[in-house]
Chain A
Amino acid sequence: MAKKKIPFNIQIDVDSFLPASSEEKEYMVQMRPSSTFFRDGVKRLLKNKVATVSLIIIIIITLSSIILPSVWPYSYERQLGVSLGKPVDASYNNLRPFEYGETEKAKIEAGEKVFPHIFGTDAQGRDYFIRIVYGTRISLAVGFFASIIVLIIGMLVGSISGYIGGKVDLVIMRIVDIIYSLPDMLMVILLASVLKQTLGSAIEGTALEKIGSNIISLFIVFGLLYWVSMSRLIRGQILSLREQEYVLAAKSTGAKSGWIIKKHLIPNCISVIIISTALQIPNAIFTESYLSFLGLGVNAPMPSLGSLASDALNGINSYSYRLIIPAIVISLIVLSLNLFGDGLRDAFDPKLNG
């Protein structure tokens, strides 16, 4: 047998042919640290600068809308020139941003401190800044609660339909199909316009009056129509999870149906639910501002961003800032929520990763 020469004249010492220990082998391999699904997702989310910035913007806006009305020296409904018994002081009306009216100027000269009107005042002498803030609060609240209503109804119907199956499921899904094909906006407008008439008288004197008939009608409308896609989503999740083995395993240990739903199925749907709800909120806000713009939204004097924009159409030439400001705020809110929702989905949807 011919002797083979090792090329490159490597110095090979006999020791290096001793077996390697398992520690040495493990040292070779650096495994990436694993972590839980949620931690991974949050990490991914935070890495996404756009989503993080959007989240910060949303938090700032939300916090301001909650806190500011309490600390602001002006209230949203107070017409500053109007006091009981005295003639209307029109010097408060239609002030530009940071402008002072005659009466106010006189007060300042007298040594009083007058808080500036950052966005000016409207035609009734109300501080516009606080109306914007309050309008934001209304829009956000409506958006949020409407989404919660949609979530609850959708989850209930979806999980019942998905878990019980059979005839119940069939009937519910037919109903869902029909509601789904209804043109939602038209139905919303229809319902809102009717409820505006009827609901007003119904809730007079009750605690609900304070919230306003229009907002309630909005919630009713949302509750009736918008739960369908959520219920389909939940039902789909449950149907696929039903097939999973651990449900069988749990059943075999004698667990009751309700417990199975709560403990096993729902936690797995959570990411889907959260993402869907997060994207539903801007939709709700959009619908509310649209209705308010058409005059079917909140009742005066309560402002919403949509109604403020609608009112501003009148004076669009002379007081264009009254339109631009709510326009920017709505766009900012909806945009941030959409971007954040997108970011959530990118970070947490396991199907998209890979």
Chain B
Amino acid sequence: MNTKTLAYILKRVGLALLTIWVVITVTFFVMHAVPGGPFIGEKATTPEVQAAMEAKYGLDKPVMVQYVTYLKDIVTKFDFGPSLKQRGRQVTDIIFEGMKTSAKLGLIAAFVALIIGVVLGSVAALRRNRLIDRIIMVITTAFVSMPSFIMGTLLLLFLSEKLHLFPANGETWQGLVLPVVTLSLYPMSYITRLTRSSMLDVLGQDYIRTAKAKGVSGPKIIFGHALKNSLIPVITYFGPMLAYIVTGSLVVEQIFSVPGVGRAFVKSITGRDYPLIMGTTIILASLIVIMNLIGDIMYKVVDPRISFE
């Protein structure tokens, strides 16, 4: 790895860290716009929790002091404080518990979207303008335009309630089918279209013509020369895809009663459990920023040209 690439990576890491810091700061100060601040909560809070808050953040201290304490706790101890509503539980514990299920759901959805998307996109590109291509394009256009909660609710309605094909509990393997399908439909369609246009673009490039002129056979042109170049734009989509899966999981877990981070987050919003809202926002946002960073770095590794810019 040469110095230019290293410099680029460092720069991106720096930007990512800066962004995460911005997220923490913005979250903290925005939350303080709530009357009384996020650590006080309403009368429903128990005295124990109140005391814990006081001890941690010093509730009559000036905002800046509270902010520094909050920031320090996160950076040094990865501590986001106690939950206001769920007695005795730390925010980090709640989040990580939900994370297990959500991560499983998200990763499976991402994997499905990627594999099926690339395959369908390639098929569409190779059979351009024929029937299979048109069918794929119509279906993907439809899915790309449908908000995930619409898809999810419709699937819940038809496949679960009416036809009783899949349970909606998010626990068992069958229970995960519908949430995974709902979550993966948009990214899958997006990746299909992306792969298709990327591959069409690549197939029109001069170096493909050179390969053909050398006598390279059809399949070898596609899998050898074309595919590697076609996948480059798909890699840049990894970050946004994760972002979508994270936000999509909020509704999907709601709809299908999946006990994950997303559902906890939505509950925290309606329940006004501020430390939990803050902690979840920060952790999820940081996750997305890191995924974007990894996506950028991978892009560099795959396309050697970028190293030189």
Q: Do A and B come from one complex?
A: yes
**Measuring CB to CB, which residues of chain A are less than 8 angstroms from any residue of chain B?**
177-178, 181-187, 189-191, 193-194, 197-198, 282, 286, 289-290, 293-296, 306, 309-310, 312-313, 316-317, 320, 323-324, 327, 330-331, 334-335, 338-339
Whether the Cβ atoms of A330 and B147 lie closer than 8 Å is: yes
Residues of B contacting A187 in the complex (Cβ-Cβ under 8 angstroms) = 23, 26, 281, 285
CB distance A282 to B149 under 8 Å?
no
Decide if B269 touches A193 in the complex (CB within 8 Å). yes
Instruction: Find out whether the CB atom of B243 lies under 8 angstroms from the CB atom of A327.
Output: no
Q: A317 near B161 (CB under 8 angstroms)?
A: yes
Contact between B35 and A198, CB atoms less than 8 A apart: yes
Partner of B281, one of A181, A186, A316: A186
Pair A190/B277 contact, Cβ less than 8 Å: yes
Residue from B26, B149, B150, B161 whose CB has the most chain A CB atoms within 10 Å: B150
Closest 4 CB pairs of A and B: A335-B145, A185-B247, A183-B288, A334-B145
A181-B15, A183-B288, A338-B145 known; A190+B30 contact, CB < 8 A: yes
Question: Quick check: B145 and A282 within 8 Å, CB to CB?
Answer: yes
Are B157's CB and A182's CB within 8 A?
no
Chain B residues within an 8 Å CB radius of A320 = 157, 162
Within 8 A of A (CB), among B206-251: 243, 246-247, 250-251
A294 to B263 alpha-carbon distance, docked (Å): 11
Chain A residues with Cβ under 8 A from B289's Cβ?
A: 181, 183
Report the separation of the CA atoms of residues A333 and B142 in the bound assembly, to the nearest whole angstrom: 11
Shortest CB distance A350–B (Å): 17
Nearest-CB distance from B163 to chain A (Å)? Answer: 12
Q: B69 → chain A, closest Cβ, in Å?
A: 20
A183, A293, A310 — which one has the most chain B CB atoms within 10 A of its CB?
A183
CB-nearest residue of chain A to B27 = A190
Alpha-carbon gap, A312 to B154, bound state (A): 11
0 or 1 for each of B88-121: is its CB under 8 Å from A? (1 = yes) = 0000000000000000000000000000000000
Q: In the complex the two chains form, what is the Cα distance from A187 to B16 in whole Å?
A: 16
A313 contact set on B, CB distance < 8 A = 153, 255
Tell me whether A331 and B161 are in contact in the complex, defined as CB-CB below 8 angstroms, given that A182-B19, A198-B34 are known contacts. Answer: no
Q: A313-B255, A316-B161, A331-B146 are in contact. Are A183 and B22 (CB under 8 A)?
A: no
Q: Is the interface of A mostly helix, strand, loop or mixed?
A: helix
- A320 — nearest CB in chain B belongs to which residue? B157
What is the CA–CA distance of A155 and B266 in the complex, to the nearest angstrom? 35
**Alpha-carbon gap, A289 to B145, bound state (A):** 13
Q: Give the CA-CA distance A335 to B266 in the complex, in Å.
A: 27
* CA of A332 to CA of B229, assembled, Å: 35
**Do B141 and A335 touch across chains, with their CB atoms under 8 A apart?**
yes
Instruction: Report the bound CA distance from A279 to B11 in whole Å.
Output: 32
Considering the complex, which residues of chain B in the window 127-147 have a beta carbon less than 8 Å from any beta carbon of chain A?
A: 141-142, 144-147
B125: which A residues are within 8 A, CB to CB?
none
Minimal beta-carbon separation of A232 from chain B (angstroms): 15
Give A55 to B106 CA distance when docked, in angstroms.
36
Q: With contacts A178-B22, A313-B255, A323-B157 known, is A334 near B266, CB below 8 A?
A: no
5 further interface pairs, Cβ-Cβ under 8 Å (given A177-B15, A181-B289, A186-B247): A182-B22, A183-B284, A185-B246, A309-B153, A327-B153
| B154 in contact with A324 (CB, 8 Å) | yes
Structural contact, B15 and A198, CB atoms closer than 8 A? no
- A335 close to B142 (CB less than 8 A): yes
Tell me whether A339 and B149 are in contact (CB under 8 A).
no
- A193–B19 Cα distance when bound, in Å, is 21
Distance between Cα atoms of A141 and B261 in the complex (Å): 33
Distance in Å from the Cβ of B25 to the closest Cβ of chain A? 11
| Contacting residues, chain B, for A294 (C-beta < 8 A) | 250-251, 254, 266, 269
Chain B residues whose CB sits within 8 angstroms of the CB of A183 once the complex forms: 23, 243, 246-247, 284-285, 288-289
- Cβ of B172 < 8 Å from any Cβ of A? no
Residue among A194, A286, A295, A330 making CB contact with B33, cutoff 8 Å: A194
